[in-house]
Amino acid sequence: MQQLIDVKDAARSVWARGDYDAMLRTEGLYAVGEELVHRLDVAEGEQVVDVACGTGNAAIPAAAAGAQVTAVDLTPQMLEVARRRADDAGVRVDWVVGDAEELPLPDGYADLVLSTFGCMFAPRHEVVADELVRVLAADGRLGLCAWTPDGVFGEFFRIVAGHLPEDPEFVDPPLALGDEFRVRELFEGAGLTLAFERATFEVVHASVDAAVACYADNLGPVTQARELATADGRWPDLHAALTDLFARQERADGRVVVPAEYLLVTGRRA
Ligand SMILES: C[S@@+](CC[C@H](N)C(=O)[O-])C[C@H]1O[C@@H](n2cnc3c(N)ncnc32)[C@H](O)[C@@H]1O
């Protein structure tokens, strides 16, 4: 379907924008990948797949734990940065340009399938869930993180989406993967025992302005929203909405401390 190809081409070019790695380092969000690897008890020699891996948030700590890691992402520019980070960390990961909806891996390949804030941005969550299950070994484990719709980043992504071109109807809203009921539905009948937790990671920015600039300069979808909003005169509205969002998280010392809530889904195939 040409529309689906167009959606994926657009996603690839959006995620190539900005400096995603710089944003994650500022936020300290690489700690979430480390925590996920720790929680799932990734062990030496296990086959791990990081889906929509970006710059290797889960892949690199999994490789550091001794796993054989394959990391898949739609956006080659993300993988270039990931490769550099893995070299710096002295770990080996197979970085593969590929689609979460069509993983380039055989059935039953993975002891563990992980995704931090990745699968949520693929267009069709049902197709993605089927793929995650397909590549999971008979006794495999699953670990997924996605921003919750009612958390601060849920509100953040809704504001940004309001300044981006509307997706075709078949595209699932990314935040749906942060909704426990939807995730249960997606994996129903897959033979997985799932556990759900609302986890919170504290994202700290030096100030409200620094928070807005961090995302407007570095996070692909926000850089695009800013560009479009600037062209049609709506950047002051978008800027004001983001400023208001972060101002609500401002502390007396001027820092912004965001309780970034995400849904942590862990599962095991029986
Ligand atoms: C918010 S980033 C998350 C990256 C990383 N997992 C992390 O925790 O930082 C979303 C990632 O999803 C990737 N992505 C979007 N659609 C995809 C798809 N259909 N298949 C694979 N990757 C996809 C983007 O290229 C981007 O790297």
Structural domain for 114, as ranges: 2-204+260-269
148 belongs to a structural domain: yes
- For residue 176, what is the DSSP state? G
Give the pLDDT confidence of 224-236 residue by residue, as tens digits: 999 999 999 999 9
244 belongs to a structural domain: no
Give the pLDDT confidence of 131-140 residue by residue, as tens digits: 999 999 999 9
249 belongs to a structural domain: no
136 belongs to a structural domain: yes
The CATH code of the domain that includes 19 is 3.40.50.150
120 belongs to a structural domain: yes
How far is ligand 1, taken at its centre, from the CA of residue 11, in Å? Answer: 9
Residue nearest to atom 6 of ligand 1 (CA): 53
Give the pLDDT confidence of 119-175 residue by residue, as tens digits: 999 999 999 999 999 999 999 999 999 999 999 999 999 999 999 999 999 999 999
Reported as a pLDDT band with limits 50, 70 and 90, residue 265 is very high
Percent of the chain with pLDDT over 90: 99
How far is ligand 1, taken at its centre, from the CA of residue 58, in Å? Answer: 12
217 belongs to a structural domain: no
* Whole-number pLDDT of residue 6: 96
* Whole-number pLDDT of residue 80: 98
219 belongs to a structural domain: no
Residues near ligand 1 (Cβ within 6 A):
8, 11, 15, 24, 52-54, 57, 73-75, 78, 99-101, 116-118, 121-122
Distance separating alpha carbons of residues 57 and 20, to the nearest angstrom: 11
232 belongs to a structural domain: no
Q: For the chain, what is the domain count?
A: 1
Give the pLDDT confidence of 65-78 residue by residue, as tens digits: 999 999 999 999 99
Reported as a pLDDT band with limits 50, 70 and 90, residue 214 is very high
Determine the average pLDDT of the residues in 15-24: 98
Average pLDDT of the chain to the nearest whole number: 98
How far is ligand 1, taken at its centre, from the CA of residue 253, in Å? Answer: 34
* Whole-number pLDDT of residue 113: 98
How far is ligand 1, taken at its centre, from the CA of residue 98, in Å? Answer: 10
**pLDDT higher than 90, residue 1:** no
